[in-house]
Amino acid sequence: MSAGDTGAHRRAVVLMIIAPTLWSIAGVVTRHLETTGRWEVTFWRSLFAAVFVLAALLVTRGRGAWSTVRASGGYGLLSGAMWAIMFSAFMLALMTTTTANTLIVNSIGPLVTALLARAVLREPIAPRTWAAIALAIAGMLWMFGSGFAAGEPRHAVGMLIALAVPLAAAVNFVTLKHAGRSVDFIPAVLLGAIISAVITLPVALPLRANAHDLFLLAVLGCLQLGLPCMLMVRASRHLSAPEIALLALLEVVLGPLWAWLGAGEAPALATLAGGALIIAALLLNELAALGLRVHARRG
């Protein structure tokens, strides 16, 4: 790997750290909403994200923005549909079962992504990545295992709905890699946000958000959803699909931290310990990859 490729990979890792960091502020921001229900949150967040991504396309592409949307083709439509599922299914799962159940199901994302990447892309998965995936899942179980709930039909239904999130994410990540760098997937984020807003509007009515909530929802749509999803698309050009999925788990680790700092919700010891294990898994995977790249350059 050349020095240029190594630098591009490092920049991609930085972008993929920023993205889940921004995703993770959702919990602390929603704690300060006054009148808005969950479905309305999903609608406004998706709508503001669509406006933000559209504005970004118009600024960066000008009159070529619409051509960029059309040029994404079938890959863009598939990715957009996956974004829409991810934007909507998570909130529906939270409404049906517990947060712990939802997050534990989501923790299988890197494993599903690795298996799908191996099947579709014929992409070999390094042993260090398998180890990191196992450690990350263990960390997630440690964080939220005590809050796991079962026995009621609604929990089984909620977990099936939550399963749509890691499955859609895996398909999305693999689609990004399968298409290669020739397709611009920023329009797919726009499409996903539009679909999510259209789907959730009927169940979000009547809209009750006041001016205070609309400001926070704009922050969620622009900075917590639109921008980080665009950053993830950019990062995907230089990261493997399992690597993207693993780094995305930072959202779950950082979410409780922001809720503690911004809303006074002190995390349990298990949450801190499990989060530390996930971070250790991510660091070990990236440091091992860095060592291999340095060794290859010297060789």
Question: What is the per-residue pLDDT across 6-51, written as a single tens digit (0 to 9) for each?
Answer: 788 889 999 999 999 999 888 888 888 899 888 899 999 999 999 9
* Diameter over CA atoms, the chain: 64
Q: What pLDDT was estimated at residue 205?
A: 94
**pLDDT value of residue 2:** 55
Mean pLDDT score across all residues of the chain? 86
Rounded CA separation 266/259 (Å): 8
Mean pLDDT over 127-148 rounds to 83
Q: Which one, of 85, 97, 83, 90, lies nearest residue 39 by Cα?
A: 90
Q: What is the pLDDT of residues 70-111, one digit of tens each?
A: 888 899 999 999 999 999 888 788 777 777 777 788 888 888
Phi first, then psi, for residue 2 (nearest 5°) are -75, 165
* C-alpha distances out from residue 47 to 20, 53, 256, Å: 20, 10, 26
User: Residue 210: is its pLDDT beyond 90?
Assistant: yes
Distance CA 151, CA 231 (A): 40
Measured CA distances, 259 to 6, 43, 144, 237, 255 (Å): 35, 22, 15, 32, 6
What phi and psi values does residue 186 have, to the nearest 5 degrees? -60, -40
**Are 220 and 30 a contacting pair, CB within 8 Å?**
yes
Residue 43 confidence (pLDDT): 95
Out of 67-76, 143-152, 220-229, give the one with best mean pLDDT. 220-229
Give CA–CA dist 268/248, Å, rounded: 22
Tell me the pTM: 0.86
Phi and psi torsions of 240, nearest 5°: -75, 160
